[in-house]
Structure formats: structure tokens, C-alpha cells
Amino acid sequence: MITGPDYPHEVEVIAVDGPGGSGKGTISQRLAEHLGWNLLDSGALYRLTALAVIKNNVDPKDESGLQSMATAMDIRFEVCGSHTRALLDGSDVSDRIRLEEVGVLASKIAAIAGVRAALVERQRRFRQPPGLVADGRDMGTVIFPDAKLKIFLTASAEIRAQRRYKQLKDKGESVNLTRLFREIKARDVRDQSRRIAPLRPAEDAVIIDSTNLNIEEVFNKVCGIV
């Protein structure tokens, strides 16, 4: 049970967890819009932390330095229509946090207990009326174990690499599919094997494999469950 005075437990949470490229980001965003609920993109929080590590020149191996920085850093999300801007020290870094190298560093520092501990409170504060769709790796297992509904979205590493390849290509970035596939596999291993909050479905999660489904089909499935 989560304790603390600031968490309105009566506010419902839908947790959407899964590996990168499983479609959980798109699904969570559409679901939050559909329900008129708040959205927590916890991956963006880890990416912002990674960017703050780079900006402040913190040694990624210095656990206490990382923890103090993650506790004190000035990060914010600003909703502008259907788009959410990520701010670090007041500057818009929405595009920079999506860079592959930032994702890789995010996944490395996410394995550090002090960093995860520093981000717990920040994530739980998103639980505000009328409800919250929380997208991440440990939403249903650690951050919101009392979530009303837990969805675990997965897909084969091959298809996730192809989706990511298309996304980056559409953005005009030069990418290599084989390298992306290798990075996705490496990130899966890191996320699944870390000691703290490893990526795994909660016992009461509904598992959806999106390997052979398009985003519309996944969304319809999720809405059916909701």
C-alpha cells in the first residue's frame, strides 16, 4: 500500500507497462485523451534525468551524486493542446530526450536504486483527478501497485526494432536497423535483469502481444478491457 498524505488513492490509475517499441506510448496517450485523464510518461522522466546527468556532468557511476541531482533537478511537463513539452531548467528539450543515446543512458541510470528512489515521489504526484494513465516499466508493480487496471504490452524485438526504425526514418534521422535491433535487445536485457523494479508484468496484469496487431487493433482491445 502506498502511504503518504499527498496521494489521492480514490483517483483511479490505469498502468500501461512494457518494453520500448511495444506501442505503449501511443496507446497510453490515446487512452488518456479518450478518457480525459492525466498522462504520466515515466520514460520521459528517466530521459530528462539522463539529459540532466549530461548537462550537469555527473558521473553516471556516482550513485549518491546521481540521487541528489535527480532529487533537486528542475524538470517539468507542459501540456500544449495534444502535445506535451518536456522542460529541463526551463528549456524545451522534448526533441533531445528522444535521441537514441539519451534513451541508452536513461536505461543505464534507471538501474541505479538511488535514481529510482528519487523519482518515485515525482511520479506519484501525477495521480490527480479525474484519473491517470501511467506509462512505463514498473507502473503496475512498484509505482501504482493499487492501479485499477494493469496492462502489459509486448511485441517481438524484431517488430519493435522495425517500428522504431520507421519512426526515426520518418523524422529524417539516419538509422541502421541491425544496430537498432541490437540496442533494443541490450536495453531489454538491462531493463529485465536489473535488481530494482525489473521490467515484468504485474501478477494481475492483462498481457497483450502487439506483434501481429496494428495500433488501431491494440487500442480497440485496450478500450474493450477498460
Residue ranges in contact with ligand C5P by CB under 6 A: 20, 42-43, 46-47, 103, 106-107, 110, 136-138, 187, 191
Shortest CB 141 distance to ligand C5P, Å: 10
CB nearer to ligand C5P: give 197 or 222.
Answer: 197
Residue 11 CB contacts under 8 Å (≥ 6 apart), including other chains = 127, 128, 129, 130, 131, 132
Q: What angle do CA 203, 207, 208 make, to 5 degrees?
A: 170
Residue nearest ligand C5P by beta-carbon distance: 43
CB nearer to ligand C5P: give 12 or 107.
Answer: 107
CB nearer to ligand C5P: give 103 or 114.
Answer: 103
CB nearer to ligand C5P: give 195 or 224.
Answer: 195
Residue 28 CB contacts under 8 Å (≥ 6 apart), including other chains = 16, 39, 41, 133, 134, 135
Shortest CB 49 distance to ligand C5P, Å: 9
Shortest CB 184 distance to ligand C5P, Å: 9
For residue 5, give the nearest of 127, 118, 88 by alpha carbon: 127
Within 37-156, residue ranges assigned H as helices are 42-55, 63-72, 100-109, 113-124
Shortest CB 198 distance to ligand C5P, Å: 9
- Joined grid coordinates for residue 79: 501540456
Shortest CB 167 distance to ligand C5P, Å: 12
CA dihedral angle for residue 159, residue 23, residue 140, residue 129, rounded to 10 degrees: 180
CB nearer to ligand C5P: give 119 or 222.
Answer: 119
